[in-house]
Structure 1
Amino acid sequence: MSTKPFGIAALTLAAMFTFGSLAAQPASAQGSKTRSTVERRQSPGKGFWANQRTSRNIQHARDYSRSIGSYTTQAPVINPAITHAESQMLGMQLQGIQRDMGIVREVYVDNPQVVEQVKVIDNKLAAASETQKMLHMECCKETPDGKICGDMATKLTTALDEIRKDHAKLMKMTGDDKHEGHAAPDASE
């Protein structure tokens, strides 16, 4: 039995594959509105980076508020140096969120829906910042009251959960939730 017919068939298939892959793509595929992952990474969108920083800052602020709440309600003795540092970092995260919301507002100034959503977030952030300032004052005392700190931290965590949901809605409005590997964390955490 000769292998010559099989070799010719294999060569023919290889030639067909090569010519088929070199053929021009249909025009409809070239005009597709879906951007490639590489293109989205290179040019993600107008407010993308501010929105991504905001997502991280919200998560970090939630971590700090939960940490303060757990520490002040569970530690046998509260070390004011720890509560002072944690509440200070919480305040810095809230300031970062406010700064980035200003950037998003400027970028989307022509989109009234986005501006309105930023305003909703700003109002909740202002209330959370006031609570954080009261928490920080309590945390800086020589003997912080664990119950008061725990209650304020719980209030802040709840407010940050709402802010996170509002921010996820904002990211959907701006399209920043569609970037692979950069989506906002699930609000159910």
Structure 2
Amino acid sequence: MQTYFFDVEIEELDREDETWIDFFATRKFEAFFSWRDFQTYLNCYVEAETPGEVLDMVFTEIAKTELSVLRIVVDLIGVQDIAIDYSVSRETARLWANGHRRNGFPKRFTQVGNKSAWARSDVHAWAVKNNLAREATEQPLPIDVVEMFNGDLARSRIGNELRPLTVSLSE
């Protein structure tokens, strides 16, 4: 089994209402709420065999609530985060990212201002392949799974009728 982590952005909820905290405290996975920049997040740590199993487990439980999911957060990191995550200097991380050391570093996911950003899951997969990831590390939810889920969620919002969101991923 692997432990996956990811954040789900949900519609604002009353921080004083502990109903949601109590509800998620009794689930088969770890989940806690956080608030950043006036947004509410459910931070999830789930032990499962596959990312599809992770989503099934979490969103089956969310469906039992009145919470409204906005999206799964795309977990992006920059050179400094890469250096911290893999205990290397910022210069080493920059050299990896520029292709000057350790071939096959993932392509950047996007540009934020004048800085490149990578999907944490892509960098993690590369680090595992190159024996740079720490043993028994938690794994970010793969970016393709996040994008498929968010795409399905967006399509369900813009359709003429709300259709149930189904998650059927096999890996």
The alignment's TM-score, normalised by the length of structure 1, stands at: 0.28
Q: Which has the higher helix share?
A: 1
Higher strand fraction: Structure 1 or Structure 2? 2
TM-score by length of 2: 0.30
Bigger radius of gyration, 1 or 2?
Answer: 1
Higher RCO (C-alpha 8 Å, min separation 6): 1
